[in-house]
Structure 1
């Protein structure tokens, strides 16, 4: 099945519906106006003096505050924004830099108008709303222009009249070419503008009619280069940029910008590396290529988890494996050496940032060599590394076994960057005097690339090493893992628990790892989990009385090791003084008797009594450290050491007020750990790194080291490489702007079109129709605030429904002209009624869990399938649902990281 081709068909249909014409070149609109039907790609008539309020400044957008925040402001404070006067766009243009002795290009343009038609009443008013489309100008809409002589004044304008009216000969539009000398060529702006005036006098129905008739629709503007060369569009002087911005210029220098748009996006076509065509695009698209993380061939043995799980058992094999690991590391070093040569060949203004980029790669390489040397010389480190790999392998095999897959030990591998990351941080993770102990090591990889497995491997290594190194004080809480979202914390708890189970099974057979169980705990608010034994006991009692929903707050609904579902009667030991999970599967390593309770807990009182080896919590929960003295249990009890490692996932989400408060607690936490005798190591993970160094300094007062360090090109960091879209399609982004509509109203035509699109495009003749329908059936609508979610919910119930009804009616009318199947008609009618769900912080953990489960349900599996999911940045960390392929980002996100 070719999803890329299907997506192309879908986008082509969207373009016709949003820009027009949806039907034929001489379409007749009935029951609507062209401005209502096509909100994009329109040049409106000129309004002298401006008119109306800018819809982007209205209070229904996501960037405005909520009532609680507003109440915190002084009564005398100025509002954050005021409604702005607004003039709808009447022009569109494109600017580019072109040079050469003889410059010549053709300007190609097109537009359409709609004229009201139909029967009139006795007063001469039209009875219905019907508009007839007409192409303007005919087929030969082209003007050839040449550059002026340099001897002319500094700027030079060329103007042309377009689309003369039949009566009177007045032009409807104009074209302007503005030439400005720059270096050896010209910065050239080509603009198309509507010259018609909107007469705001007269009756309302006439004003509306004139506005529709005097607007230009389906506007197109392009420049075909015949002579001359289009160069890179002038950028800001690099000396004025920050160090980070200069480095980004180097890394993205191959992503060249040849033009900028005005009122629309600019795009271009290359032929033989030369720009041949430049055009304005009202529905721009960009395909972000996929990233491969398996681009280091020839190291299968060294990447196999099974190879390292057998480490330390045979000295000869160990030397071979360490030799292969050294070759792996030095291959990276050789690649860096080539980048050093490349950096030295850069231009003088690019040389300093290029040297900084390569310098960070060389530092990472040096640290990898230190990690390699540690494994070569230190018996405890080798044993800990072997055990960590064994635990990772065990939990991966167990996960596949639970999914009824046949696990093959040799098929599980580290991704190259994961193994390299472990080598990089090994020394600083166990040596408090290491020069890099003070660094915050940031794992930077796209969502889904394997960041979690990378730091889970580090956690396993450190837990084992600490138990081996400090036989009498290595227990207690070893690692703190923090998240900003409770939903994410619960998801990571499920992933980490299986690893902890594997480590606990290994501990039971290895006396060197101590008698204290290796365990995990989740530490979050009472809205997500029961924080006391009494509340947990009450939840179990309610479940035993038949209220199964009462168990949702217990996070786990099955044994994390074997996957056997929990039952209220047999899987919990709950009382006013105790709570534990049990597996009643006799074949499970944790099944059987009461003594074999699972090594996990989520009740605060249980965590204080028996501090878990790995503690997961939300960042706000750590505020309890200053309010509840029982939390000191996490910092070393009964002679145990305090935590050695602090992991912060999704670092970019700690922003704004949350970041300010978090920074205060970080300073306090750091001080407490140091006073308890441990200088902690910090590791963070994120999918975006813009301004990360500044953020880390403000949060932790430390410097940052990114891994894998970016290369000289954004397409290649050795451990990850982009894949050409021709080989593997990437994510496709479309931009949609309806300038006359506010944000909530702008959503309506887009969401309605996407709602109807799958059924309209993938008709009965498609061989894989059901799969294609399901792929684009569910819309995820992303918002920057809860207010935006509420506005969108109302829009889907009113505006979106009305737009969808009209589209469905149009499609049904078109299908009456051809034979269509009953299935097609039934599916189309099904889209009249949408099932809306929400993923927000206002929902309980149980409600969000049910919504996640519903998102997995295909459209053919019954009435629980979600048609629209309205979400906030709760899903900014990624939503792992395989069937989803469509998301609307409703307005600019509050941060670029989102």
Structure 2
């Protein structure tokens, strides 16, 4: 199917959208069934009203010196706006501009019906006006009457030293508010538009808008400005959005927009690297000499690109050259690391064998799961292969200087980050097994900790990782002589409400499920049946294929031809993970709070055993580890870092994200380490060598549309937007588009910033959207469907939120993959921010957001859930009463053309006083319990006095970390740690235990009740909810 058909379908959706909300449906239309101001809800200039929003124009307009700002601009921001305006800058010497102003009114006419019972009705006839006007750039103020009741006003805002100047052009309805609804509608103007040109046709006279933004001395902000320097802002709207036609550094036309749009192009694999060197088969079958030679060619190509970028630096503006040079040096460092990795493959037999096995495993997985084409057609993206190459030295040599550096994999959402670090995981597992086999020591146990923030995402990624683990296990079975006899397996380690903690719990739950079904499980009962289909052959797995033996729960594939018919190499019961130590543990970061409570958690780190500790830690979605969660996580990382250490060698840490700012500070506070970003940026965001911007025909582009409807409630706007999009997607089939195209837009994803917002939408969907759809079918767009077509019944919808049980969420995700024309396909799915984190349903192509999300990072993450496989459409409904929404709407083009530039910096302060109060004791107790012989068992808590000196050693380890992260907190942390120790020793005079399991046990050191009056220390069971709850008593 040609991608052009998807773009054509999207254009049809956008056409209906504009005609319904802004108009006109027809150029010479007559409206007879409603008021014009209800017929169209965007682009209305109402009669002047006294009710104005008292907002600071400086804040809303973002930039310029509005000398003697006119009330006409304030009227842009009234509840019922009477004006619209646009500000822009023109070059020196351009004294005259040409403006094309257009607008429509609807003229009421009384018409007598021809029915038996004659009555008078009002018809509204569209009256459109378009007029060319010459204005002058050297006049302080100009006023022109466009039509009766409507003025065009031009303000000269500022003249700069170079002779350029900033102007504002406003269109104002000067009618006063009328006393009756007919007169008010007749005095309202619709579909207003301002287009500004130079005096000479086609001449580029508009220059970048002057913004009053001080970058200060922040090199990161300066670097972002340099990288996005080609994305210029030529105008800002007031009460509307602004658009332009640009030829690079200048623009030939400036215009207003009420439904602004921007097409965001995806990144594609770099064209610099092509051919067999990316092929799994080539890399997995050829000799080290042949492979190393091919990889060296990639290194040489990267070096050539770097030198070309270096030669470009002198052509940059002076203020960019220092940061540009810094970027190039980081590229050189990356090149050196890649070449070091190639050298290791050439010289280290085991490392090369592990690398071959990785490629063989990836190829097997692709072919097994329906990959099309021949073997040579499957391979890496350039950035994935380069990333693995640069990590090989620090994985194969524990003393490599980059072992202690956090490598941050930064790539746009949907670009393939997961495959990159899964490939590295397989390399680490294979190499560890082979090295251990050669040295005659155990090579099994937990090798990789892969962590996520949300349980839903963790489940999805566990399924993806399990497929590769199955491929690795098949290779191990074929090579036991070098990989050993212990299976390569994966384990799921998440909160107790999702998976069982013990096998006895799994037995009870399985009996209930097999006897009465999933719905029979109680709300607090964990579900052991987390694997719904075989990760290798994709056959469905029912509860009948789950069984609990003496030492594990076994999940078998029902397919007799599958290599895992007798048991999958996966574990989902906590007790099984502790007993078997799967090579890959996929878990939620909050689960690590259990380190303080449970002795068995230490087994995941091979503590007090002859196994090796984890060697690789992968933290996905790093941008989410911020704020309160990040602060608490930063404390617990102090313990995790120590648990993974062996003979002063730490685990390698990989993080990944598509949206992050201030990464240096975040990673330092979280991990106490330096970091490197991969791929490093060059001098242009559109080309980092490993990836470059793709055209619309090369990769599906995502179209963003903005809508704001002042004078209309948020609920009404939601009903109108949902209705017209559902109407137009149903029209695709009637317009002759194939099912695959219809399916990509069939399911509308509604995204909400709060559960309260979403709850209100549910009622609207049930009633009002259905009624509006009927009106669109039968009245407003009558004739769009073949005669006799009936409006659809109530939309098939559900919600994807934390209000749903985990089992329900799994079923919803499964059903979301059902495609049109299957009647089970959802018409609509309403989602909270749960959707923004890692949900990957390729068929989704249509989303509506109610309001701008709280952060730009969330906006990027949420909207990138649609339009992954095929072109997508995202509509943002902006609330005119919220200044942030209005700002994004008025600068829609500026914002979306540099989307990743506006990601906010995050912060976390793990050793600040309030954070220490919350969890510092948990870190000290965890370290002491798991690293000191004699303190591990529950009853050993009482022995702290005897082991006082060893606990002091743990205190010093924590203080070492504080010195690295924030030296100013060392004294406070030391005092706090010794207070904790003193309290612990004071309690140790009794029959002290870490936690009470029965009433007969002694005094507990830990409690999960944060409002407890006892001596036990309130301690987190999870990092998911880190805020303290309090009771409020209302009297009277």
1:628 aligns with 2:598: yes
Task: State the distance in 1 between where 2:53 and 2:450 align.
Answer: 54
1:775 aligned to which of 744, 747, 756: 744
| 1:861 equivalent in structure 2 | 822
- After superposition, the C-alpha distances for 1:647-701 in whole angstroms (9 at most, x for unaligned) are 0111222233222222222223223333785412110111223333333233223
Residue of structure 2 in register with 1:541 after alignment: 511
Q: In structure 2, what is the Cα distance between the partners aligned to 1:35 and 1:52? A: 24
Distance 1:101 1:558 in 2: 70
What secondary structure does 1:724 align onto?
A: coil
> What displacement does 1:632 show?
0.8
- Choose the corresponding residue for 1:563, options 533, 538, 552: 538
Cα deviation, 1:182-221, whole Å, max 9, x if unaligned, reads 232211111111212225xx6xxx2x44443332211111
Select which of 19, 22, 27 maps to 1:16: 19
The question of whether the paired residues in 1 share the 8 Å contact of 2:442 and 2:610 is answered with yes
- How far the C-alpha of 1:379 sits from its partner, in A, is 2.2
Aligned: 1:895 with 2:855: yes
How far does residue 88 in structure 1 lie from its aligned partner after superposition?
3.0
- Distance change >3 Å, CA 584–CA 222, structure 1 → 2: closer
Aligned to 2:276: 301
Q: Distance in 2 between the 1:498 and 1:771 partners?
A: 27
> Map of 1:271-282 to 2, 5 A cutoff?
275-282=251-258
SS of residue in 2 equivalent to 1:277 = strand
- The number of equivalent residue pairs is 817
Q: 1:91 touches 1:193 (CA, 8 Å); kept in 2?
A: yes
Q: Deviations over 1:730-789 (max 9, x none)?
A: 1110001112234444322111111211234x374x332544443322100112222222
Instruction: Answer whether contact 2:288 2:352 (CA < 8 A) is retained.
Output: no
Cα deviation for residue 174 of structure 1 reads 4.0
Aligned pair partner of 1:142 in 132, 138, 153: 132
Deviation for aligned residue 1:324 = 1.3
Aligned match of 1:801: 770
**Alpha-carbon shift at residue 265 of structure 1 (Å):** 1.3
Aligned to 2:166: 187
Aligned to 2:670: 699
Q: 1:871 aligns with which of 823, 827, 831?
A: 831
2:627 to 656, 663, 668: 656
Distance 1:792 1:237, change over 3 A: closer
Matches within 5 A, 1:253-268: 253-268=229-244
Find the residue that maps to 1:359 and give its secondary structure: helix
Contact 1:534–1:576, Cα closer than 8 Å, also in 2: no
Distance 1:156 1:677, change over 3 A: same
Q: 1:853/1:744 Cα in 2 relative to 1: closer, same or farther (>3 Å)?
A: same
1:94-109 to 2 correspondences below 5 Å: 94-109=86-101
User: 1:539–1:550: 8 Å Cα contact kept in structure 2?
Assistant: no
From the superposition, tell whether residues 257 and 128 of structure 1 become closer, same or farther in structure 2 (CA, over 3 Å).
farther
Aligned residue in 2 for 1:223:
196
Are the structure 2 counterparts of residues 820 and 891 from structure 1 closer, same or farther at C-alpha, using a change threshold of 3 Å?
same
Distance across 2 between alignment mates of 1:52 and 1:488: 43
Write the deviation string for residues 411-453 of structure 1: whole angstroms up to 9, x where unpaired.
3211111110011111223433322222221112222221111
Per-residue Cα deviation, 1:698-738 (whole angstroms, up to 9, x for no partner): 32232331211222111111111112236655111000111
**1:89 pairs with 2:81:** yes
Measure, in 2, the Cα distance between the counterparts of 1:337 and 1:697.
Answer: 31
- After TM superposition, the structure 1 = structure 2 runs for residues 23-42 of structure 1, keeping only pairs within 5 Å, are 23-30=26-33, 32-42=34-44
TM-score norm. by structure 2 comes to 0.74
Separation (CA, whole Å) in 2 of partners of 1:294 and 1:271 = 26
Report the Cα distance in structure 2 between the residues aligned to 1:254 and 1:435, rounded to whole angstroms: 37
Q: Does the alignment pair 1:839 with 2:808?
A: no
- Give the equivalent residue in structure 2 for 1:460: 426
Report the CA distance shift for 1:775/1:557 in structure 2 as closer, same or farther (over 3 A): closer
**Where do 5+ consecutive residues of structure 1 fail to align?**
55-84, 149-154, 165-170, 312-316
Deviation at 1:500, TM superposition (A): 1.5
Which one of the candidate residues 161, 178, 191 is aligned to 2:156?
A: 178
Equivalences for 1:201-240 in 2 at 5 Å? 206=180, 208-227=181-200, 229-236=205-212, 240=216
Q: 1:361 to 1:454 in 2, by over 3 A?
A: same
Matched, 1:110 2:102: yes
Q: CA deviation at 1:886?
A: 0.6
Map 1:759-774 → 2, pairs under 5 A: 759-760=730-731, 762=732, 764=734, 766-768=735-737, 770-774=739-743
Quick check: 534-543 or 318-327, which moved more? 534-543
> SS of the counterpart of 2:45?
coil
CA deviation map 1:107-128 (0-9, x unaligned): 111222235554799xxxx999
Q: 1:857 to 1:598 in 2, by over 3 A?
A: closer
In the other structure, the counterpart of 1:151 is none
Flag the 1:308–1:510 CA change in 2: closer, same or farther, 3 A: farther
CA 1:639–1:715: 2 relative to 1, 3 Å: same
Q: Which residue number corresponds to residue 572 of structure 1?
A: 546
The 3 A distance-change label for structure 1 pair 553 and 190 is farther
What residue is the counterpart of 1:156 in the other structure?
140
Q: Tell me, what secondary structure is at the counterpart of 2:707?
A: coil
Shift in Å, 1:613: 1.1
Alignment of 1:348-367 (within 5 A): 348-367=318-337
- CA distance 1:797–1:610, shift in 2 (3 Å): same
Matches of 1:562 and 1:26 in 2, distance apart? 58
CA–CA distance in structure 1, aligned partners of residues 423 and 698 of structure 2: 32
Contact 1:27 1:133 in 2 (8 A): yes
Distance 1:808-1:43 versus aligned 2 partners, 3 A rule: same
Q: Equivalent residues in 2 for 1:701-850 (5 A)?
A: 701-725=672-696, 729-760=700-731, 762=732, 764=734, 766-768=735-737, 770-811=739-780, 813-814=782-783, 820-822=786-788, 825-826=789-790, 829-830=791-792, 832-850=793-811
Q: Is residue 2:652 matched to residue 1:681?
A: yes
Corresponding position of 2:50: 48
Write the deviation string for residues 596-655 of structure 1: whole angstroms up to 9, x where unpaired. Answer: x32111001111111211100112222212222211111115311211111011122223
Partners of 1:855 and 1:558 in 2: CA distance: 16
**CA spacing shift, 1:800–1:558, aligned 2, 3 Å:** closer
Which residue does 1:370 correspond to in 2? 340
Distance 1:131 1:705, change over 3 A: farther
Name the SS for the 1:387 alignment partner.
helix
- Contact 1:34/1:131 (<8 A) preserved: no
Q: What's the C-alpha RMSD, in Å, of the aligned pairs? A: 2.9
Cα deviation code 1:117-173 (max 9, x no counterpart): 54799xxxx99984514425x44x22101232xxxxxx7111223322xxxxxx343
**Structure 2 alignment gaps of length 5 or more:** 57-76, 522-526, 859-1036
Asked if structure 2 preserves the Cα contact closer than 8 Å seen for 1:95 and 1:189, the reply is yes
Distance 1:157 1:812 in 2: 44
Q: Could you tell me how far 1:293 is from its partner in structure 2?
A: 1.4
**Distance apart, 1:238 and its partner CA:** 6.2
Matches within 5 A, 1:588-627: 588-592=562-566, 597-627=567-597
- Secondary structure of 2:656's counterpart equals strand
Q: The residue matched to 2:91 in structure 1 has which SS?
A: strand
Helix, strand or coil for the counterpart of 1:861? coil
CA distance in 1, matches of 2:173, 2:280: 66
Find the residue that maps to 2:43 and give its secondary structure.
coil
Answer yes or no: is the 8 Å Cα contact 2:493–2:588 preserved in 1: yes
Per-residue deviation, 1:490 = 1.0
Q: Check conservation: 2:156, 2:165, Cα contact below 8 A.
A: no
Q: 1:741/1:534 Cα in 2 relative to 1: closer, same or farther (>3 Å)?
A: farther
